[in-house]
Amino acid sequence: MNLHEIQTGLAKGKFTLKTIVRNYLNTIEKNKDLNVFITLFNKGTIDRAEEIDSKTKTGKAGKLAGCIVSVKDVIAVKDKPLTCGSKILSNFISLYNATAIERLTEEDAIIIGKVNCDEFAMGSSNEHSYFGATKNPVDKERVPGGSSGASAVSVATDMCNISLGSETGGSVRQPASFCGVTGLKVTYGRISRYGLVAFASSFDSIGIFAKSNYDIAKVLEVIAGYDEKDSTSVLNPVDNYSELLNNKFKSGEIIFGYPKEYFTEGINEDILKGIQHKIELVKKAGFEVKEISLPHSEYVIQTYYILTSAEASSNLERYDGIRYGYRAGNEDSNLNDMYINTRSEGFGDEVKRRIMLGTYVLSAGYYDEYYKKAQKARRLIVKDFENAFKEVDYIITPTTPNTAFKIGEKIDNPLSMYLNDIFTASANLAGVPAISIPAGFDRNGLPFGIQIIGKKFNEAGLLRICDFL
């Protein structure tokens, strides 16, 4: 059931929210082997459901009553663990709610628990977690994608009906594709980052997973919008997204483009055929589809990893064993040894790799050669999208070049792992919204998605497109 169906059933007394929550908790228990949840809010969730059932009877329930949400463990929930999938924060309890969490709970959404993720959101497979890898529900020998892989799994397996993830270079859309659900990455600044632990501050955003476009629309209505606590949030008005879903696009009203640089060698044959089939359906529906160019696409991965690693090396400096989190050594250790041992023991290999890369590209003698050049390349990529959107309204691409790979298959090959973001990272570099929608299955029965990229702050258009693709 989508949120509208749940709320209708609750209003008519067909079932209670307490019953729904218990069903979700039972599903979570049955699927423990997938290693989805780091922290589960069992008792508090049941108590909260009873409160909302009482409010429903008096007609005072919030607009998200019936919405059960899992939260990627990089987003702060007050008085609950905030681990970021890392040993260095494994004992840390959040002192406050993220703005997105505050807005959800004010409208009677229920947070059911915190889910696994790649450490500090650095990864494309959900294997880089101190708490172990999460498994793909379609094939447990395969990854669910990352870094928000467990968020995608929680929705795909009906452990909740909504999950909040985070996006830096495809960390919502890529696992959505691998797990066969819908994942929305919003325009940078559309949802407040207050309470989202920073990986790369000029890229990060909170994203939404669901099976229903309506559910994503309702949640976005609540959590989007300006926040004075976040200097990067934007003062643009928030659309009534769920009502706009009823406004169907008319034939010839919009133009789609597909970038020739995204349809080249190296894409899984079944994915390529599936995306081409979707493009033909768009044409048959009466919409114009034209080939476009994003000429600097070949520099996306290099630019993305230089800039995000540089920002990560700065953001992760705060984890020193003094202020909070894991501390190595004892009272007799000197300060320098404590710093070194805390970070050596507290951070995993992938986080260390990116800190080292980021520190290198920011160092004297290399700043101009790498970091400054990458910033110039980012500007060219932004310009590519600005030029493309003068010709078309939406851009169609594959979400990923392949379907879910096996656990351990790419863990020792960072470059191969990074290339999973080849079609998604450009939207983060440009700050534009994008969505991954289930598009089919490959010959092995593994799901894949189609990606639609839109103009800034046109999340409404992306959600409307979901209805006919």
Known catalytic residues are: 72, 147, 171
Q: Whose structure tokens read 């994203």?
A: 207
**Cα–Cα distance, 164 to 308 (Å, whole number):** 21
Distances in Å between the alpha carbon of 143 and those of 139, 195, 377, 466?
8, 27, 31, 25
Token pair belonging to 99: 């703005």
**Cα–Cα distance, 377 to 373 (Å, whole number):** 6
Helix (H) or strand (E) segment spanning residue 343: helix 335-346
Q: Are strands 447-453 and 434-441 parallel, antiparallel or unpaired?
A: antiparallel
Beta strands in 67-210 (DSSP E): 68-72, 110-115, 162-167, 182-185, 205-210
Coil/strand/helix, residue 293:
coil
**Cα–Cα distance, 413 to 391 (Å, whole number):** 38
40 - beta bridge partners?
Answer: 113
Q: Whose structure tokens read 């790369």?
A: 200
Interaxial angle between packed helices 3-11 and 213-223, expressed in degrees from 0 to 180 and rounded to the nearest 10: 80
Token pair belonging to 300: 């996306």
Q: Are strands 205-210 and 255-259 parallel, antiparallel or unpaired?
A: unpaired
Helix (H) or strand (E) segment spanning residue 106: helix 99-106
**Cα–Cα distance, 34 to 421 (Å, whole number):** 23
User: Nearest CA to 439 among 178, 259, 78, 187?
Assistant: 178
- Cβ(119)–Cβ(140) under 8 Å? no
Q: Whose structure tokens read 């529900």?
A: 137
Instruction: Give, in degrees to the nearest 5, the angle at Cα 451 between 446 and 456.
Output: 155
Q: Whose structure tokens read 């609540």?
A: 222
Interaxial angle between packed helices 213-223 and 459-466, expressed in degrees from 0 to 180 and rounded to the nearest 10: 160
Q: Whose structure tokens read 């929930």?
A: 77
81 - beta bridge partners?
Answer: 93
CB atoms closer than 10 angstroms to residue 285: 13
**Residue 395 dihedral angles phi and psi, to the nearest 5°:** -115, 130
